[in-house]
Structure 1
Amino acid sequence: MIVRIMGEGQVDVAPGDLAGLNELDEKVEQAIESGDETAFRTALHALLDQARKIGKPLPDDDLEPSELILPPSDATMDEVKAMLGDEGLIPD
């Protein structure tokens, strides 16, 4: 699955690795719902770090369409909240 991290590029994440990203996505959602900025920042960075760790970077000139789009590391809670769908940033 091609995942774009806004402002950074794309990584290819194996389908079997999505469950771990979903767990971190839930923590981002919970932090937003509770309005906890510190927990939000920690959860967002953990999600992005994990996507970078497990994903295989794609070349900048690769034009594969992104199946998932993750916010940049400096995104605000309001910006991420606007990106959330019914299933969070990462659908099950």
Structure 2
Amino acid sequence: MIVRIMGEGQVELADSHVAELNTLDDLLLTEMERGDGPGFRGTLHALLHRVRELGTPLPDDSLEPSELILPSPDADLEEVRAMLGDDGLIPG
């Protein structure tokens, strides 16, 4: 799967990592619902860190269709809320 982190670029990520990332996504959604700004910020950074760590960066001149788009690390609660689907940021 191709994942884009807004403002950073794209990484290729094995589908086998989606379950682990969904755990962080669920926590992020819970923190957003509670209005837990510090928790939200920490979990967003942890989610993006895992995507970077598990994924393989695509070359900067590559532009593949992204199957998943994640917010930038400095996105606020409202920006992320606008990106959410029924399943959070990561479907599944």
Q: TM-score, normalised by structure 1?
A: 0.98
Supply the RMSD in Å over aligned alpha carbons: 0.5
Instruction: Give the structure 2 partner of residue 51 of structure 1.
Output: 51
- What is the CA deviation profile of residues 35-63 of structure 1, one whole-angstrom value per residue up to 9, with x for unaligned ones? 00010001100000000000000001112
Instruction: Give the structure 1 partner of residue 33 of structure 2.
Output: 33
Give every structure 1 segment of 4 or more consecutive aligned residues whose post-TM-superposition deviation is greater than 6 Å: none
- What is the CA deviation profile of residues 39-89 of structure 1, one whole-angstrom value per residue up to 9, with x for unaligned ones? 000110000000000000000111210000000000000000010000110
Q: State the AA in 2 paired with 1:35.
A: G
| CA displacement at 1:8 relative to structure 2 | 0.3
Unaligned runs of at least 5 residues, structure 1: none
Q: TM-score, normalised by structure 2?
A: 0.98
> How many pairs align?
92
| Identity among equivalent pairs (%) | 61
Q: State the AA in 1 paired with 2:7.
A: G
Q: State the AA in 1 paired with 2:78.
A: D
